[in-house]
């Protein structure tokens, strides 16, 4: 080798052509852009999925609590009606009040059935069970309250006292207390954990704050029920006449009435229902008080039913006539009623003087 000749093996390889170098760089750049694009798409997709999940959570909470709010409102409407009845039951007639109470029971039963169908968020499953149970308890309380008031209306509510009605208050206030302590409080925590801040949890406090179960209020209600002519109507019967048989002799008070001492002696008594409601089992008593030492006799009859303004008659027989009473003044006293809740008693009793003659 010539000293002056160059050794090609020691020299660096010639650079590749510029076109090849640019193509390689372009491929790298495209790959980088693709990777960045994929990352951005994946990131946006993850954000979208997370947003959808969050929106579903928000929607689930919103839909659930909208149903809860409706149920609470409907139950409170029943409570408002109950408060009006306790405040003044005499605003209703007997039929209206009974129908109103039945309707309230029906509405609260419907609320109790409806809340069973609610689908709570998973974090509130057990708390929702408390709400469902509370509405069922309140429905039972409404039935018991209805039955007690109806018993009082029917005159059979001797055991319906303010204390007994006040004891039913737990059926109404208890569900509110449990709701506020468990569902309301826990829902705030659950939504905070799920990052939900745009949904309002309804409160349920109407029965806790209404004060309708105050014993004084309940006592006043029972008193109004007992005294209300609007609820019970006007009760009262009056003695119309007493007629001696045979002979069809109408007895006159304040006068000595001549009556034949016949073996078939009888007295026919007419009684009128002077009230506005049908009376049942009306007692009628005739007392025969002869002169001297002869024994007083008392006979009792019962009129099964008398409608308003109707007159019914009963016949008294079987009196024993002592000879000492012949020709002398005896006393016949006739008493009709009184019927339950009768206020006017002045026309129930009448006394007649009779002289028995042969």
Q: Are strands 279-289 and 297-306 parallel, antiparallel or unpaired?
A: antiparallel
Q: How confident is the model at residue 10 (pLDDT cuts 50, 70, 90)?
A: low
Contact 197, 191 (CB under 8 A): yes
Q: Tens digits of per-residue pLDDT, 12-64?
A: 666 655 566 677 777 777 777 777 666 666 655 555 545 555 457 788 899 99
CA 163/CA 168 separation, integer angstroms = 9
Q: Compute the average pLDDT of residues 248-268.
A: 93
Angle (CA) 191 197 201, round 5°: 65
Highest mean pLDDT, choosing among 24-33, 187-196, 330-339: 330-339
Q: What is the pTM of this model?
A: 0.61
Q: Are strands 266-273 and 279-289 parallel, antiparallel or unpaired?
A: unpaired
Domain segments of the chain: what residues? 43-231, 237-357
pLDDT at 73: 97
* 182: its two tokens: 């468990």
Q: Name the packing angle between helices 215-227 and 125-153 (round to 10°).
A: 40
Q: How confident is the model at residue 283 (pLDDT cuts 50, 70, 90)?
A: very high
Q: What percent of the chain has pLDDT over 90?
A: 66
Contact 233, 343 (CB under 8 A): no
Sign of CA pseudo-dihedral 21, 22, 23, 29: positive
CA 349/CA 339 separation, integer angstroms = 13
Phi, psi of 152 (to 5 degrees): -65, -40
Fold of 237-357: Immunoglobulin-like (2.60.40)
pLDDT at 54: 47
CA 281/CA 302 separation, integer angstroms = 6
Q: How confident is the model at residue 235 (pLDDT cuts 50, 70, 90)?
A: confident
- 290 pLDDT more than 50: yes
Phi, psi of 174 (to 5 degrees): -55, -50
């Amino acid at each position: 080798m010539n000293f002056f000749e160059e050794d090609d093996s020691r020299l660096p390889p010639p650079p590749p052509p510029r076109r090849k170098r640019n193509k390689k760089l372009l491929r790298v750049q495209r790959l980088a852009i693709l990777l960045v694009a994929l990352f951005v798409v994946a990131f946006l997709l993850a954000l979208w999925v997370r947003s959808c999940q969050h929106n579903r959570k928000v929607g689930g909470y919103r839909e659930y609590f909208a149903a809860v709010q409706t149920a609470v409102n409907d139950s409170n409407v029943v409570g408002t009606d109950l408060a009006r009845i306790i405040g003044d039951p005499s605003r209703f007639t007997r039929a209206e009040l009974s129908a109103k109470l039945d309707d309230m029971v029906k509405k609260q039963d419907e609320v109790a059935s409806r809340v069973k169908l609610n689908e709570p968020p998973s974090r509130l499953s057990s708390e929702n069970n408390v709400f469902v149970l509370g509405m069922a308890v309140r429905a039972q309380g409404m039935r018991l309250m209805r039955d007690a008031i109806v018993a009082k209306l029917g005159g059979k509510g001797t055991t319906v006292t303010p204390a007994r009605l006040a004891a039913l208050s737990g059926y109404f206030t208890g569900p509110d207390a449990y709701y506020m302590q468990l569902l309301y409080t826990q829902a705030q925590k659950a939504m905070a954990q799920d990052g939900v801040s745009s949904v309002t949890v309804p409160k349920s406090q109407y029965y806790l704050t209404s004060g309708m179960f105050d014993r004084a209020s309940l006592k006043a209600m029972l008193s109004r029920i007992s005294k209300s002519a609007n609820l019970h109507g006007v009760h009262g019967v009056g003695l119309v006449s007493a007629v001696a048989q045979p002979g069809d002799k109408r007895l006159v008070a304040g006068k000595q009435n001549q009556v034949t001492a016949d073996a078939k002696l009888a007295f026919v008594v007419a009684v009128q229902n002077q009230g506005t409601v049908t009376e049942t089992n009306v007692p009628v008593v005739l007392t025969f008080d002869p002169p001297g030492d002869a024994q007083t006799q008392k006979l009792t009859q019962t009129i099964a039913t008398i409608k308003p303004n109707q007159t019914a008659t009963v016949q008294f027989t079987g009196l024993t006539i002592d000879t000492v009473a012949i020709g002398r003044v005896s006393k016949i006293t006739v008493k009709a009623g009184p019927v339950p809740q009768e206020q006017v008693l002045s026309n129930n009793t009448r006394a007649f003087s009779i002289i028995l003659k042969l």
